Amino acid sequence: MDEWVVHQRIKIPFMYTAGRALTRFLEGLARGEIWATRCASCGRVYLPPLNFCGRCWRGIDRWCQLPPLGELISYTIIQRPLPEHPDRSPLILGLIRLDGADTNLVHLIGDVDPSEVERVTRVRAVWRDERPASILAISHFAPLT
Amino acid sequence: MTKKDDETQRVQYLLDIEYHYAAGELATRFFTELKEAGRIMGMRCSGCHRVYLPPRPVCGICYKELKDWVPLSDEGIIVGCTVVHLPFIDPMTGEQRPVPYGFAIIRLDGASTSIYHFVDETDEKKLRVGQRVKAVFREPRTGSLHHDIKYFRLVGK
């Protein structure tokens, strides 16, 4: 008897409220701007922005705009995209530290062959023409040449 | 992404997970019998004579390895039931079923354990523990307990 394979599927629709800081971040992205928060106590710059500094245990209400430029800290090459990923492979997901930020952002790395990505150090955001209030207002990050 | 009347963004998302798993030796036989013969098979323990549905490799009471297959009836009794108004996700389709629908834990005649299934009845007064039910099959069969049996219907008192 051939081995039986069971095919199943689960779909989970959900919604979350982005909160004050993330709302401002998302609305900034729709305008082509990247906004971070800076803790008044330790000076750490959070991107994506947080309303609260977990180290200093205090609220954050200072905002600063960051340039769409940064450093590629790490990356992974995805051979089998998940449903929420763009439907092509391989994909490169990068860990990006924008200039001035103390935390990292995950985004797609594009305009580079996966075999070449190891050499990439500096990246820039490539904006979509139609920008939603979403991290996908940035299409991907491309090597800065 | 939508924005309500307050100042906060609401982010909508859909997690859509399709998955496959290898059923293993016993479930392969179970699903094959169901598909090809429309037969529901259990496994009997040679020690305590319990009949397991779905089949399993070892008796949970005697720790004996199970080897004997037995055909079970397509009729049985309700041992637990509800009418669902807030549906869970049906793993056959990934979707929620239209509500309301009857849902029951059913012990088939000859089995010592129970399965869950849908029941073609949404009147709480008619769904009772001990009520007899009979499987209604769907053609063509695919070898899925929750596809090949559409639901169970109540049978006469």
pLDDT digits over A50-101, tens only?
999 999 999 999 999 999 999 999 999 999 888 778 878 899 999 999 999 9
Name the pTM for this structure. 0.70
Is the residue at B73 inside a domain?
A: yes
Is the residue at B32 inside a domain?
A: yes
Is the residue at A82 inside a domain?
A: yes
CB contact under 8 A, A8 and B19: yes
Is the residue at A10 inside a domain?
A: no
Is the residue at A129 inside a domain?
A: yes
- Which structural domain range is residue A32 located in? 19-143
- Which structural domain range is residue B39 located in? 24-154
Round to the nearest angstrom and report the end-to-end CA distance of chain A: 58
Domains held by chain A: number: 1
Is the residue at B8 inside a domain?
A: no
- Chain B contact for A59 (CB, 8 A cutoff): no
Regions of chain B where pLDDT drops below 50: 1, 4-5
pLDDT for res B13: 86
Q: What CA–CA distance (Å, rounded) separates A125 from A104?
A: 14
Is the residue at A32 inside a domain?
A: yes
pLDDT for res B6: 58
Is the residue at A14 inside a domain?
A: no
Residue A27 three-state SS: helix
- Do residues A138 and A125 make contact, with C-beta atoms less than 8 angstroms apart? yes
pLDDT for res B118: 96
Is the residue at A52 inside a domain?
A: yes
DSSP element (H, E) containing B134: strand B132-137
- DSSP category for residue A50: -
Q: Which residue is closest to A131 within chain B, CA to CA?
A: B1
Is the residue at B116 inside a domain?
A: yes
Is the residue at B5 inside a domain?
A: no
Is the residue at B81 inside a domain?
A: yes
pLDDT for res B39: 95
Q: What CA–CA distance (Å, rounded) separates A24 from A49?
A: 9
CB contact under 8 A, A13 and B14: yes
Domains held by chain B: number: 1
Is the residue at A13 inside a domain?
A: no
Predicted-complex ipTM score = 0.73
- Do residues A71 and A100 make contact, with C-beta atoms less than 8 angstroms apart? no
The better pLDDT of the pair B3, A31 is held by A31
